[in-house]
């Protein structure tokens, strides 16, 4: 993300999901040029882990050339744990459905900004990718 002009604003939301033995890294550069007075950036990196063998990393790069700029970064990691799954199971919902519901909730912030057709495709793709990842 490059901030060149004055009073420019930007927001980055990254949602990463790691399942099985996968590792997911976020690397993002936010650069504010010397002329960009009052520039603002907010970055949020959320990672979700499914199972015990996966991981997630966040490497935010920030280069700020203007003293009046505000750059924020927030990161969170959550895990679909046994307790969460048991809660869904104890209501009759099987684990595949539970995971898909939790994951869809996790990515909702991003998917709700996508065009309808694309959001539908993305949701389906996510379901396919995660099939059999629990158990």
Partner 1 sequence: MITKNAETILSVQGLSASINGAQILKGLDITVKAGEIHAIMGPNGSGKSTFSKVVAGHPSYSVDEGTLDFKGKNLTDLEPDERAKLGIFLGFQYPVEVPGVTNGSFLRLAYNTVQGARGKDELDPLEFDDFIQSKLNLLGMDASFLERSLNDGFSGGEKKRNEILQMAILEPTLAILDETDSGLDIDALRVVANGVNTLHGDSDAVVLVTHYQRLLNYIEPDFIHVVDGGRVIKTGDKSLAHELESRGYEWILEENSSSVS
CB of 115 to partner 1, least distance (A): 20
E strand or H helix that includes residue 124: helix 116-130
- Which position among 1, 12, 102, 126 is part of the footprint of partner 1 (CB under 8 A)? 102
- What is the spatial order of strands in the sheet that 23-32 belongs to? 2-3, 23-32, 55-64
CA dihedral in degrees (62, 64, 70, 73; nearest 10)? 0
> Does residue number 52 form part of the binding site for partner 1 (CB under 8 A)?
no
94 or 131: CB nearest partner 1: 94
CB of 59 to partner 1, least distance (A): 24
CB of 125 to partner 1, least distance (A): 18
- Exposure of 58 in the CB half-sphere (CA atoms within 13 A): 18
Count of residues in contact with partner 1, rule CB under 8 A: 23
E strand or H helix that includes residue 72: strand 70-80
Instruction: Using the rule CB under 8 A, give the single segment among 64-72, 78-86, 117-125, 126-134 that binds partner 1.
Output: 78-86
Phi-psi region of 95 (alpha: psi -120 to 50; beta: other; left: phi over 0): alpha
Binding footprint of partner 1 on the chain (CB under 8 A)? 78, 82-84, 86-95, 97, 101-102, 104-109
């Amino acid at each position: 993300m490059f901030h060149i002009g004055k009073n420019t604003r930007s927001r980055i939301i990254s949602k990463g999901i790691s399942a099985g033995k996968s590792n997911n890294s976020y690397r993002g550069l936010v650069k504010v040029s010397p002329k960009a007075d009052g520039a603002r950036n907010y970055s949020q990196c959320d990672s979700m882990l499914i199972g015990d063998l996966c991981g997630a990393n966040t490497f935010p790069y920030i280069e700020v050339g203007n003293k009046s700029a505000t750059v924020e970064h927030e990161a969170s990691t959550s895990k679909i744990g046994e307790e969460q799954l048991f809660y869904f199971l104890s209501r009759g919902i099987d684990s595949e459905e539970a995971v898909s519901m939790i994951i869809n909730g996790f990515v909702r912030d991003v998917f709700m900004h996508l065009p309808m057709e694309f959001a539908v495709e993305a949701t389906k793709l996510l379901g396919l990718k995660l099939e059999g990842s629990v158990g």
